[in-house]
Amino acid sequence: MAVHPILIAGDPRLTTAATAVTEFDRELARFVADLFETNTAANGAGLAANQIGDPRAVFVYDLVDDGVRHRGCVVNPMLETAELPETMPDPEADLEGCLSVPGEWFPTGRADWARVRGVDVTGAEVVVEATGYLARCLQHETDHLSGRLYLERLIGRNRREARRMIKAHGWTTPGRSWLPGE
């Protein structure tokens, strides 16, 4: 297993939709192990393949929600959600961060319920249904695989603040990354 550098906002690989996985072999299993290792080293809740520069439609999650640990992998995910809120997100309860936007958190509107259908590394069906933090994570990671950062979901003053933050960090050019553990 290996820890990989995580791409930072501004890299076009983060805004490119993932490609479906068609080969379920040892290499895919090793790759998913690397995703878990990288996510753990970064203290993340989830990590999508394109965040480390790989175009495949796969993500991992490993988080604690309401005292229960949730850990898994979804390949070729399809997302269903409850209705998205149209109001301004709560500045405390709806804070969201991203390993590709390191050190920054913004209130982000997400559906209260989500279900992801896909397969695991062997091609067996996987269905993950959730509320709370896990539902937020499932939506966040499937957004990544659609080529969408959570910053695009921000509204109002949060969106304006995020744009200023991107410029202040110089995250407007491709090729930036960080290595968890350094």
The answer to whether 144 is a known ligand-binding residue is yes
The answer to whether 73 is a known ligand-binding residue is no
- Rounded to whole angstroms, the Cα distance separating 81 from 113 reads 6
Q: State the catalytic residue, choosing from 27, 37, 104, 141.
A: 141
- Rounded to whole angstroms, the Cα distance separating 30 from 42 reads 18
The answer to whether 169 is a known ligand-binding residue is no
Q: Are 44 and 96 in contact (CB under 8 A)?
A: no
- Rounded to whole angstroms, the Cα distance separating 10 from 94 reads 24
Using alpha carbons, select from 59, 60, 42, 48 the residue that is nearest to residue 103.
Answer: 42
Is 92 an active-site residue?
no
Kindly list the catalytic residues.
Answer: 141
Instruction: List binding-site positions for Fe cation.
Output: 98, 140, 144
Q: Which residues are annotated as a binding site?
A: 98, 140, 144
